[in-house]
Structure 1
Amino acid sequence: MLSLKNHPFAVETFFESSLVLTYAVPKEQLQTLIPPCLELDTFKDKWGFVAVALVQTKDLRPKGVPKFMGNDFFLAGFRIFVKFNNDRGKRLRGLYILKSETNKRKMSFFGNIFTHYNYTTTDIILNSNKESISISSVKSALDVKVSLSENAALPHGSPFDDWKEARRYAGPLPFTFTYNAVTSEVLIIEGVRESWIPKPVEVIKENVGFLNQMHFQGIQLANAFIIQNIPYYWKKGVIEKWKAQ
């Protein structure tokens, strides 16, 4: 069963929207949350980052399976920005999974069979128009609304000076990592996308129950970006043995 959880096949979908809010947290508070094989992706040697990804997918299915056999799911992911040095000496930027949520039991059931994403099922209400997007959940104590208007301002208190600087920490990143402490193995999952041009959005309100439960001190909303209407797929998982330096 463990081998099944290692993302044994590629998965494809269509992102109708992917809204990501990135929060800056003093790095010391995130260090204990990641395994020893990973290092924090920091800014100015002070801030680490947590991404809250809110994604509406369409026709999600194993890659190569006909589109009509896919399913539409809402996915919420909570991830830490990290780096990993692979066997070829290449440094990969990616995300470490803290928690995942979805709006349908089917996704939670199969997601927990074939991945280590730790899915739970929650309620999601998504409302969108040309001016704004709002996403809420009673069970997850989630209430987010963003404006899609041009000339969005950076969040107040962001550690970034401008959107160009903030763009480097716009999720989701190409790689996702999971660590098996028993076998000292790192599972690497690579996402593949085209025409990936995140658009800055201005946050009108943001209450994220999961982050509130973490009781981070000095947490700041750092940026918010959205992408819409692009195909996306995840490659089959790759496992590497990790040896402590």
Structure 2
Amino acid sequence: MLNLQKHPFAVEAYFESSTILTFAVAKEELEKYVPKPLTLDLYEDKWGFLTIAMVKTKDLRPKGFPKFLGNDFFLIGYRIFVRYQTSTGKNLRGLYILKSETNKLKMELLGNLFTRYAYTTTDISQKTEGHHVEIQSDKSKFTMLYSRKTDGEMKLPVNSVFPSWKEARRFVGPLPFTFEIDQTKNQVLIIEGVRENWTAQPIELITAKFDFIDRFNFRHIQLSNAFEIRDVPYYWKKGVFDLC
């Protein structure tokens, strides 16, 4: 891990919207993508979870800096739900980043300078018509269309592993912690997120196709929840190392 790639300062932003899809994947297929000492955060000891978060951020900047120095970005993160037991015995629940995308080169450059989130720049467009929202990218080969309609009872995705929205809400990111591994020094970098006004609203997913997910060729994968969170002040604390 390069000297600067350790989240050396706190960062804050305003989430105008965060759209989150979570796929259940058989643990035998997903666990090979999680480096030790992290372990999968499992449901019924059978399913691990791969989640996609599409976040429209405003005024992203080092914490404490004035808003006019912030920048607006669209961010996409592909993450796995994991657990980590610290050197002091605390059991933390969080996320391990597989890949990150953004709509601006500036965010790619700065993001890869201060983190190991593997940012790349791509085209991202979001269009809203009434209750319907479409997010898509030609370069990254993904598209999704969902409805925010709230009248009537929202149904879980058809093949969800969860029996109810109550169970599904346990697996809605972002979780309090994100982890990065420095295997050369046997260290885990822990980044803690702090949020306000966090209310996840179920959405009705109409279509969704992601080339990044398809390339894994998982045999047992099921879309299991879909949520949107809007208007959330958020910040990430400075990274902290823990010996593993």
Q: TM-score range by the shorter chain?
A: over 0.9
Cα distance in 2, alignment partners of residues 47 and 132 from structure 1: 30
Change (3 A) 1:130 1:85: farther
Aligned twin of 1:17: 17
Deviation at 1:176, TM superposition (A): 0.5
Change (3 A) 1:169 1:92: same
Q: Deviations over 1:160-208 (max 9, x none)?
A: 0110010001111111001011111101101100111111111011101
Give the SS at the match of 1:168.
helix
Deviation at 1:132, TM superposition (A): 2.0
Match of 1:170 among 165, 169, 172: 172
Q: Does structure 1 retain, via aligned residues, the 8 Å contact 2:42–2:49?
A: yes
Give the SS at the match of 1:74.
strand
Q: What percent identity do the matched residue pairs reach?
A: 55
Aligned twin of 1:32: 32
Cα distance in 2, alignment partners of residues 9 and 32 from structure 1: 31
1:156 aligns with 2:151: no
What is the TM-score when the length of structure 1 is the normalising length? 0.97
Q: Output the amino acid matched with 2:138.
A: V
Cα distance in 1, alignment partners of residues 93 and 133 from structure 2: 28
After superposition, the CA RMSD in angstroms is 1.0
Cα distance in 2, alignment partners of residues 41 and 80 from structure 1: 8
Aligned residues: 242
Cα distance in 1, alignment partners of residues 130 and 27 from structure 2: 37
Structure 1 runs of 4+ with >2 Å offset: none
Cα distance in 2, alignment partners of residues 94 and 21 from structure 1: 16
Q: Does structure 1 retain, via aligned residues, the 8 Å contact 2:197–2:233?
A: no
1:109 aligns with 2:75: no
**Where in structure 2 are the equivalents of 1:1-245 lying within 5 Å?**
2-150=2-150, 151-242=153-244
Cα distance in 2, alignment partners of residues 73 and 65 from structure 1: 17
Q: Does structure 1 retain, via aligned residues, the 8 Å contact 2:24–2:49?
A: yes
Deviation at 1:26, TM superposition (A): 0.3
Q: Output the amino acid matched with 1:72.
A: D
Q: Output the amino acid matched with 1:203.
A: L
Q: Deviations over 1:37-63 (max 9, x none)?
A: 111001111100001000000000000
Cα distance in 1, alignment partners of residues 194 and 31 from structure 2: 28
Cα distance in 1, alignment partners of residues 182 and 30 from structure 2: 19
Cα distance in 2, alignment partners of residues 132 and 59 from structure 1: 26
Q: Output the amino acid matched with 2:191.
A: I
Deviation at 1:129, TM superposition (A): 4.4
Deviation at 1:116, TM superposition (A): 0.7
Give the SS at the match of 2:72.
coil
Q: Output the amino acid matched with 1:6.
A: K
Give the SS at the match of 1:15.
strand
